[in-house]
Amino acid sequence: MKTRILGNCLEVSALGLGCMSMTSAYGPAADRQAMISLIRSAHERGVNFFDTAEAYGPFSNEELLGEALQPIRDHVVVATKFGFDIDLISGARAAGTNSRPEHIRAVAEAALKRLRTDRIDLFYQHRVDPSVPIEDVAGTVKDLIAEGKVKHFGLSEASIDTVRRAHAVQPVTAVQSEYSLFWRGPEQDLLPGLEALGIGFVPFSPLGAGFLTGKIDEHTQFDASDFRSVVPRFSQEARQANMALVDVVKAVAQRKNATPAQVALAWLLAQKPWIVPIPGTTKQHRLDENLGAVELELTAEDLHMIHEQTDRIALLGDRLPEAALKMTGL
Are 99 and 125 within 8 A, CB to CB?
A: yes
Sign of CA dihedral 128, 132, 136, 141: negative
The pTM assigned to this predicted structure is 0.98
Strands 150-156 and 120-125: parallel
The C-alpha atoms of residue 51 and residue 62 are separated, in whole angstroms, by 9
SS3 of 46, please?
coil
Q: Active-site residue 56, yes or no?
A: yes
Are 202 and 16 within 8 A, CB to CB?
A: yes
Are 166 and 137 within 8 A, CB to CB?
A: yes
- Give the domain ranges of the chain: 3-325
Which of 26, 56, 124, 179 is catalytic? The answer is 56
- What is the CATH code of the structural domain delimited by 3-325? 3.20.20.100
Q: How far is CA 17 from the centre of its chain?
A: 9
pLDDT one digit per residue (tens) for the chain, 330 residues: 999 999 999 999 999 999 999 999 999 999 999 999 999 999 999 999 999 999 999 999 999 999 999 999 999 999 999 999 999 999 999 989 999 999 999 999 999 999 999 999 999 999 999 999 999 999 999 999 999 999 999 999 999 999 999 999 999 999 999 999 999 999 999 999 999 999 999 999 999 999 999 999 999 999 999 999 999 999 999 999 999 999 999 999 999 999 999 999 999 999 999 999 999 999 999 999 999 999 999 999 999 999 999 999 999 999 999 989 989 987
